[in-house]
Amino acid sequence: MSEPAIPEVTWTRKDLVGIADLSVEEIELILDTADSFQEVSQRSIKKVPTLRGKTVLNLFFEPSTRTRSSFELAEKRLSADALNFSGSGSALSKGESLIDTARNLEAMAPDLVIIRHQHPGVPHMLAQRLESGVINAGDGAHEHPTQALLDAFTIRQHKGRLAGLAVTIVGDIEHSRVVRSNIHLLVKMGAQVTVAGPRTMMPAAVEKLGVRVSYDLDEALTDADVVMMLRVQLERHGQSLFPSTREYFQLFGLTQARLAQAKDDAIVMHPGPMNRGVEISSAVADGKTSVILEQVANGVAVRMAVLYLLSLAQQGDG
Amino acid sequence: MASGVKQGSGMKQGGGMRQGGGMRHIVRGGRVVDPSQGIDARLDLLIEDGRVARLAEHLDSIPGVEETDASGLVVTPGLIDIHVHLREPGFEYKETVESGLRSAAAGGFTAVACMANTQPVNDHRAITELILNQARLHPYARVYPIGAVSKGLAGQELAEIGDMVKAGVVAISDDGLPVMNAALMRRALLYAQHYEVPVIQHAEDLDLTGDGVMHEGEWSTRLGLPGIPGVAEDVMVARDLLLSADTAGRYHVAHLSTGRSLAMVREAKRRGVAATCEVSPHHLLLTDQEVATSGFSTAMKMKPPLRDRSDVEALIAGLQDGTVDAIASDHAPHHPDEKDVQFSVAPFGILGLETTVSLCLDRLVGGGILELSRLVHLLSTGPASVLGLPGGSLAPGEVADITLLDLEREVTVNADAFGSMSRNTPFDGWQLRGAAVGTLLDGQPVLDG
Residue among B253, B316, B261 at smallest CA distance from B285: B316
B220-256: string of b/e by CB count within 10 Å (b at 16+)? bbbbbbbbbbbebbbbbbbbbbebbbebebbbbbbbb
Contact of A121 with chain B, judged by CB distance below 8 Å, is answered with yes
Beta-carbon contacts of residue A85 (< 8 Å; ≥ 6 apart): A57, A58, A59, A60
Chain B partners of A204 at a C-beta cutoff of 8 Å?
216-218, 220-221, 227, 229
Contact of A94 with chain B, judged by CB distance below 8 Å, is answered with no
Mean pLDDT over each residue of chain B, to the nearest integer:
95
Kindly report the nearest CA distance between residue B311 and chain A, in angstroms.
15
Contact of A250 with chain B, judged by CB distance below 8 Å, is answered with no
Cα distance between residue B280 and residue B109, in whole Å:
15
pLDDT digits (tens, 9 = 90+) for B387-403: 999 999 999 999 999 99
Kindly report the nearest CA distance between residue B312 and chain A, in angstroms.
18
pLDDT digits (tens, 9 = 90+) for B99-153: 999 999 999 999 999 999 999 999 999 999 999 999 999 999 999 999 999 999 9
Contact of B216 with chain A, judged by CB distance below 8 Å, is answered with yes
The answer to whether the CB atoms of A119 and B223 lie below 8 A apart is: no
Identity of residue B14: G
More confident position, A40 or B86: B86
Cis geometry, peptide bond prior to residue B383 (ω within 30 degrees of 0): no
Q: In which order are the strands placed within the sheet that holds B275-279?
A: B172-173, B199-201, B251-253, B275-279, B326-327
pLDDT of B19 > 70? The answer is no
Phi, psi of A135 (to 5 degrees): -115, 125
The model's confidence at residue B3, banded by pLDDT at 50, 70 and 90, is very low
Q: Which residue in chain B has the smallest CA separation from A17?
A: B295
Residue among A34, A318, A19 at smallest CA distance from A186: A19
The answer to whether the CB atoms of B217 and A120 lie below 8 A apart is: no
Instruction: Decide: residue A260, CB within 10 A, 0-12 exposed, 13-18 middle, 19+ buried.
Output: exposed
Most B CBs within 10 Å: which of A103, A125, A211, as the mutation test of the B interface? A125
Chain B partners of A20 at a C-beta cutoff of 8 Å?
222
Would you state the pLDDT for residue A40?
Answer: 87
- Measured between its terminal Cα atoms, the distance across chain B in Å is 32
The answer to whether the CB atoms of A119 and B211 lie below 8 A apart is: no
Judge contact between B400 and B51, C-beta under 8 A. yes
pLDDT of B9 > 60? The answer is no
Would you state the pLDDT for residue A104?
Answer: 87
**Active-site residue flag, B442:** no
pLDDT of A1 > 80? The answer is no
The answer to whether the CB atoms of B224 and A99 lie below 8 A apart is: no
A125 closest CB neighbour out of B218, B224, B296: B296
- Best CATH choice for the domain A19-143+297-314 from the list 3.40.50.1370, 3.40.50.1820, 2.40.50.100, 3.40.50.150: 3.40.50.1370
Judge contact between B141 and B82, C-beta under 8 A. no
Q: What is the CATH number that goes with domain A145-295? A: 3.40.50.1370
Q: How much is the CA Rg of chain A, to the nearest whole Å? A: 19
The answer to whether the CB atoms of B223 and A239 lie below 8 A apart is: no
Kindly report the nearest CA distance between residue A100 and chain B, in angstroms.
10
Q: Which residue in chain B has the smallest CA separation from A102?
A: B341
The answer to whether the CB atoms of A177 and B220 lie below 8 A apart is: no
User: C-alpha angle A48/A52/A57, rounded to 5°?
Assistant: 110
Kindly report the nearest CA distance between residue A136 and chain B, in angstroms.
14
pLDDT of A89 > 60? The answer is no
The answer to whether the CB atoms of B342 and A208 lie below 8 A apart is: no
Contact of A205 with chain B, judged by CB distance below 8 Å, is answered with yes
Would you state the pLDDT for residue B412?
Answer: 98
Contact of A213 with chain B, judged by CB distance below 8 Å, is answered with no
Tell me how many residue pairs between chain A and chain B have CB atoms under 8 A apart.
70
3-state SS string for chain A: CCCCCCCCCCCCCCCECCCCCCCHHHHHHHHHHHHHHHHHHCCCCCCCCCCCCCEEEEEECCCCCHHHHHHHHHHHHCCCEEEEEECCCCHHHHCCCHHHHHHHHHHHCCCEEEEEECCCCHHHHHHHHCCCEEEEEEECCCECHHHHHHHHHHHHHHHCCCCCCEEEEECCCCCCHHHHHHHHHHHHCCCEEEEECCHHHCCCCHHHHCCEEECCHHHHHCCCCEEEECCCCCEECCEECCCCHHHHHHHHCECHHHHCCCCCCCEEECCCCCCECCCECHHHHCCCCECHHHHHHHHHHHHHHHHHHHHHHHCCCC
Would you state the pLDDT for residue A94?
Answer: 59
Q: Which residue in chain B has the smallest CA separation from A207?
A: B218
pLDDT of B15 > 70? The answer is no
Judge contact between B411 and B356, C-beta under 8 A. no
pLDDT digits (tens, 9 = 90+) for A214-273: 999 999 999 999 999 999 977 776 778 888 899 999 999 999 999 999 999 999 999 999
Identity of residue B368: G
pLDDT of B362 > 70? The answer is yes
Kindly report the nearest CA distance between residue A120 and chain B, in angstroms.
6
Contact of A87 with chain B, judged by CB distance below 8 Å, is answered with no
Phi, psi of B183 (to 5 degrees): -70, -40
The model's confidence at residue A86, banded by pLDDT at 50, 70 and 90, is confident
Cα distance between residue B66 and residue B75, in whole Å:
17
A119 closest CB neighbour out of B221, B222, B345: B345
CB atoms within 10 A of CB A23: 9
The answer to whether the CB atoms of A119 and B222 lie below 8 A apart is: no
pLDDT, mean of residues B321-336: 98
Cα distance between residue B229 and residue B288, in whole Å:
12
Classify the C-alpha dihedral B281-B15-B85-B388 as positive or negative: negative
Would you state the pLDDT for residue A97?
Answer: 83
Cα distance between residue A80 and residue A314, in whole Å:
15
The answer to whether the CB atoms of A142 and B224 lie below 8 A apart is: yes
Contact of B211 with chain A, judged by CB distance below 8 Å, is answered with yes
A120 closest CB neighbour out of B216, B218, B343: B343
Would you state the pLDDT for residue A239?
Answer: 72
pLDDT of B88 > 70? The answer is yes
Chain A partners of B258 at a C-beta cutoff of 8 Å?
none
Identity of residue A178: V
The answer to whether the CB atoms of B210 and A119 lie below 8 A apart is: no
Phi, psi of B262 (to 5 degrees): -60, -45
Q: Which residue in chain B has the smallest CA separation from A124?
A: B295
Instruction: Specify which residues B331 forms β-bridges with.
Output: B84, B350
Whole-number Cα distances in Å, A260 to A222, A228, B76: 8, 15, 74
B342 closest CB neighbour out of A20, A119, A237: A119
Contact of A288 with chain B, judged by CB distance below 8 Å, is answered with no
Judge contact between B254 and B201, C-beta under 8 A. yes
Mean pLDDT over each residue of chain A, to the nearest integer:
92
Kindly report the nearest CA distance between residue B423 and chain A, in angstroms.
18
Lowest pLDDT segment from A19-28, B6-15, B204-213: B6-15
Would you state the pLDDT for residue B111?
Answer: 98
Q: Which residue in chain A has the smallest CA separation from B344?
A: A119
The model's confidence at residue B20, banded by pLDDT at 50, 70 and 90, is very low
Total residue length of chain A: 318
pLDDT of B4 > 50? The answer is no
3-state SS string for chain B: CCCCCCCCCCCCCCECCCCCCCCEEEEEEEEEEECCCCEEEEEEEEEECCEEEEEECCCCCCCCCEEEECCCCEEEECEEEEEECCCCCCCCCCCCHHHHHHHHHHCCEEEEEECCCCCCCCCCHHHHHHHHHHHHHCCCCEEEECECCEHHHCCCCECCHHHHHHHCCCCEECCCCCCCCHHHHHHHHHHHHHHCCCEEECCCCHHHHCCCCEECCHHHHHHCCCEECCHHHHHHHHHHHHHHHHHCCCEEECCCCCHHHHHHHHHHHHCCCCEEEEECHHHHHCCCHHHHHCCCCHHHCCCCCCCCHHHHHHHHHHHHHCCCCEECCCECCCCHHHHCCCHHHCCCCECCCCCHHHHHHHHHHCCCCCCHHHHHHHHHHHHHHHHCCCCCCCCCCCECCEEEEEEEEEEECCHHHCCCCCCCCCCCCCEEEEEEEEEEECCEECCCC
More confident position, B219 or B447: B219
Cα distance between residue B1 and residue B6, in whole Å:
10
The answer to whether the CB atoms of A140 and B225 lie below 8 A apart is: yes
pLDDT, mean of residues A77-95: 77
Is ipTM strictly over 0.85? yes
Residue among B351, B213, B360, B239 at smallest CA distance from B291: B213
Whole-model pTM: value is 0.94
More confident position, A299 or A45: A299
Would you state the pLDDT for residue B103?
Answer: 98
Chain B partners of A121 at a C-beta cutoff of 8 Å?
223, 225, 295-296, 342-344
- Where in chain A do CATH 3.40.50.1370 domains reside? 19-143+297-314, 145-295
Catalytic one of B174, B205, B308, B330: B330
Contact of B346 with chain A, judged by CB distance below 8 Å, is answered with no
Would you state the pLDDT for residue A316?
Answer: 52
Q: How many CA atoms lie within 13 A of B70 on its CB side?
A: 31
Kindly report the nearest CA distance between residue A219 and chain B, in angstroms.
24
Judge contact between B47 and B67, C-beta under 8 A. no
pLDDT of B277 > 50? The answer is yes
pLDDT digits (tens, 9 = 90+) for A160-184: 999 999 999 999 999 999 999 999 9
pLDDT, mean of residues A47-66: 93
Would you state the pLDDT for residue B299?
Answer: 98
Kindly report the nearest CA distance between residue B294 and chain A, in angstroms.
11
Cα distance between residue B192 and residue B252, in whole Å:
12
Would you state the pLDDT for residue A90?
Answer: 57
- Measured between its terminal Cα atoms, the distance across chain A in Å is 26
More confident position, B324 or A243: B324
The answer to whether the CB atoms of A177 and B340 lie below 8 A apart is: no
Contact of A5 with chain B, judged by CB distance below 8 Å, is answered with no
Among A32-46, A117-131, B79-93, the range with the most confident prediction by mean pLDDT is B79-93
Would you state the pLDDT for residue A8?
Answer: 66
pLDDT of B290 > 80? The answer is yes
Most A CBs within 10 Å: which of B296, B300, B338, as the mutation test of the A interface? B296
pLDDT of A80 > 70? The answer is yes
pLDDT of A49 > 80? The answer is yes
Would you state the pLDDT for residue B449?
Answer: 38
Kindly report the nearest CA distance between residue B203 and chain A, in angstroms.
22
pLDDT digits (tens, 9 = 90+) for B39-70: 999 999 999 999 999 999 999 999 999 999 99
The answer to whether the CB atoms of A119 and B344 lie below 8 A apart is: yes
